[in-house]
Amino acid sequence: MLRRSGTPALMALMVALITSACGLPAPVTSSAPTAAPLATVSPTSALTAAPNPAPTLAPTSAPTSAPTAVPTSVPTSAPTAVPTVVTLDPMTGAPALARGALRQRPIVVMIDNHPNSYPQSGLDKAAVVFEALAEFGLTRFMAVYAPGITPEASSIGPVRSARLYFVQWAMEFRGLYVHAGGAPQALETLQNTMSLVDVDALFRDRSVYFTRIAQRSAPHNLYTNSAALERALRDLAPEPFGDPEIGFLFKPDAPPDARPPARRIEYFFIYREDPAGWTYDPATNSYLRLRRGRPAIDAVTGQQLRVKNVVVMEVPEKPIPGDDKGRIEQMVIGSGKARVFMDGVEREVTWQKRAPEDRLLFLDASGNEIAFNAGQIWIVALPSLENLTIS
């Protein structure tokens, strides 16, 4: 339905318009959020705006005084004990978000994908990354980090604004939701949900977990890091956490002699001139990220982004009536067609999410949940699978 192609001049106009659509600040009841200034540091350095850095692991017991954070949803009865499960990617040794492994709340971060934001920092350290349209044909990322499981990231960003459908995807993780303002529908949901702890950089007392860098202009210069976000986790959600339903199922990698030759996955959201994609590497059984046909790298490491699993979902979308920022609505509650790429093979599956708090599932033709290769999962939401090509 949105299989469109634009001219370079139209693309330039869209890029200019997106800068004005960065989202609304969360409501405050006193002085403006800018009362708490942000420090200026290099994107690859740790935050200096966060004083008295604390250890990077959350406490294992609740504090003696009552926490002041907005409560988040927890089971009303003691959760069933689950064994500690840490599943490792056999090639890199990196841990994956296995079901039942979490002992701390996940941290979900909105990350910019405007051309002025490239290269981003910290996407390579996430357990899961969502990629979807924001507005005017430009996309945005949502990265899910698991303290104690995923590697520490010295820089994460640029941090950008929330959208309702990203919030709905995030709710199943029951963690911190990190962003800078957002669309009205997203901010209203964040205010009312018990499934997420809202960490809005534009909200006065939450700005201490962020910094702005001098090398880039606003709004593409807001950053954070793992140490600051784990401090936010202790400050805002210090209670013990355990949910055996969060996470994914994993399987062993296909043996080398069962892997096909290199293949290329390419897709576009609205404009064919702005493709993204992946190249399969059978030697490491992983997929290397492409941005407009070139390697997409991490700003800190300089290395090309590499994941073990790529999922492409077909998700209907439509403009929000009366929205002068060009924002859209995506129907992420329900079910639809999807493709899963792992071991160099494409699989036809169905995605399913019954409610915002429910898990996003990927089911085979028999209704069984797909087991992924251990490592990062990158989930793409396209308006149509016709925008996907394999070569």
Q: What's this model's pTM, rounded to 2 decimal places?
A: 0.80
DSSP string computed for 257-322: GGPPPP-EEEE-SSBTTS-EEEEEETTTTEEEEEETTEE-B-TTT-PBPEESEEEEEE--EEEPTT
Residue 311's pLDDT is what?
99
Residue 233 is given by DSSP the state H
Question: What phi and psi, each to the nearest 5 degrees, are found at residue 336?
Answer: -175, -175
Token match 């960490």: residue?
199
**Which of residues 70 and 309 earns the better pLDDT score?**
309
Mean pLDDT of 368-385: 97
Residue 242's pLDDT is what?
87
Token match 């841990």: residue?
95
Residue 327 is given by DSSP the state B
Mean pLDDT of 261-266: 97
Of 201, 234, 222, whose CA–CA distance to 28 is shortest? 201
Mean pLDDT of 352-359: 98
pLDDT, tens digit, 9 for 90 and up, residues 226-239 = 999 999 999 999 99
- Residue 56 pLDDT exceeds 60: no
CA angle at 201 for the pair 109 and 117, rounded to the nearest 5°: 60
Token match 């303290």: residue?
147
**pLDDT-derived band at 53, boundaries 50, 70, 90:** very low
pLDDT, tens digit, 9 for 90 and up, residues 280-289 = 999 999 999 9
Q: How far apart are CA 258 and CA 127, in angstroms?
A: 26
Q: How far apart are CA 359 and CA 64, in angstroms?
A: 33
pLDDT, tens digit, 9 for 90 and up, residues 97-110 = 999 899 999 999 99
- Residue 24 pLDDT exceeds 70: no
Residue 162 is given by DSSP the state B
| Lowest-confidence region among 226-235, 278-287, 292-301, 318-327 | 318-327
Q: Which residues pair with 369 in a beta bridge?
A: 363
% of the chain residues with pLDDT over 70: 76
- Which residue ranges form the domains of the chain, and what is each CATH number? 253-390 (3.50.90.10)
Q: Are 298 and 119 in contact (CB under 8 A)?
A: yes
Q: Which residues pair with 290 in a beta bridge?
A: 277, 295
